[in-house]
Chain A
């Protein structure tokens, strides 16, 4: 995966239409509501699903690094506002996740069905490590055993499993059913 842009990348850049932007705004609101009102009540394998993170990954995979980064920033900010948590922390993490997932989509072959799963796995790993580091810097307790066994491993499993259905839903929503039929024909 290349992290830097090439002139070819710039030529290929296409800004989304008004309709796509409207769909992205709806996705943003739904991601925030899912993360703040639904996710805390679902506990599987000892962890809560991170809908916002997975949706950021899905949008970045479908729309590219720039839109992924912007969408990540807005999602992180809105989730922090909705929970009245300190602003900036989730936004920072989600910007990185959105950008890196987008770059992965721009530079790697996404025809393989496992691409969303790999991306969600890597994004969960990155996000959890960054959030744990931030907690440490904010002088909160971060016991390593607890972090590994009760936070990281369950989240990795759960988010990776949820990535496939969520990717399908987000793809259908952003690109329509026709895109899936084309992909299946290939």
Chain B
């Protein structure tokens, strides 16, 4: 079955069977996801409560650091204002004319460490196609990798086979955002001559041929490494999206 699946086309027997069974299973999953949402929320709330205590100490320390750095903050206020203006501009004009946002609910997700994928409850009947970008209020979630009539699989940007062309703002340094099996997200292939700093925003670049429209927020630069033996900078990102709590998302249909 495994051999058949990988060898046959998307319209083959095994894919067809999968599609038929999926139509039966999808409503059940949708119902279960809705029914268990209060329990999931309670679970997340309990988890957050436990982490709040340790977070409190961490936040106190951060507050001290912030007080010490307030003078420095004032001097960089102008720069921040520019960054905010750029970000606001991008948020206002992210999606070009002709782009439609289809709201979807996450009904299932892979529980293994090897795949970072979720299943949403909209598909080709809503106009969703493979390679469509998926976003939520925080930023880029991933892209559609498989589509059925009323369901679609979304590969998250944390997946090890996810690659997104992106740029750093401000500055415009270009690179490729890549996921990993550990769930860490990195910005690769950024030239060493580009000046990239911790805290800068990273958005999709939307270059010609890209599957993503320009300017979708992805994350913030967490650390920048620059080793002599490496050709490119080593940049890690902190994604804006909290992938543990994905519920409602929007598919960017072009």
Contact = CB atoms under 8 A, between A and B. Distances in A.
Interface in B85-117: 107-115, 117
Contacts of B18: 80-81, 84, 87
Nearest to B19: A81
B2 A37 contact: no
Contact of B181 (A35, A37, A77, A143): A143
Interface string A3-42: 0000000000000000000000000010011011111111
Given A36-B108, A78-B21, A42 B181 contact: no
Which of the listed residues A50, A81, A92, A143 has the most CB atoms from chain B within 10 Å of its own CB?
A81
Nearest to A141: B181
A88 interface: yes
Interface in A72-96: 77-78, 80-89, 91-92
A129 B207 CA distance: 40
Which of the listed residues B5, B32, B108 has the most CB atoms from chain A within 10 Å of its own CB?
B108
A160 B33 CA distance: 26
B182 A81 contact: no
A37 B36 contact: yes
A19 B122 CA distance: 36
Contacts of B146: 84
B153 interface: yes
Given A37-B32, A41-B40, A146 B181 contact: yes
B116 to A, nearest CB: 10
Contact of B14 (A84, A87, A135): A87
Nearest to A86: B5
A175 interface: no
B43 A37 contact: no
A81 to B, nearest CB: 5
A92 B1 CA distance: 9
A33 B2 CA distance: 23
Interface in A100-150: 131-132, 135, 140-143, 146, 150
Interface stretch (B22-30, B76-84, B210-218): B22-30
27 contacts: A33-B28, A36-B119, A37-B29, A37-B36, A38-B36, A39-B111, A40-B108, A40-B111, A41-B36, A81-B18, A81-B21, A82-B25, A82-B26, A82-B108, A83-B110, A83-B153, A84-B146, A84-B148, A85-B110, A87-B1, A87-B18, A91-B1, A131-B114, A141-B181, A142-B181, A150-B182, A151-B113
The 5 A-B residue pairs with the shortest CB-CB distance in the complex, in nearest-first order: A88-B2, A84-B153, A36-B108, A88-B1, A48-B111
Given A37-B29, A49-B111, A84-B152, 8 more contacts: A33-B29, A81-B22, A87-B1, A87-B14, A87-B18, A88-B1, A135-B114, A150-B113
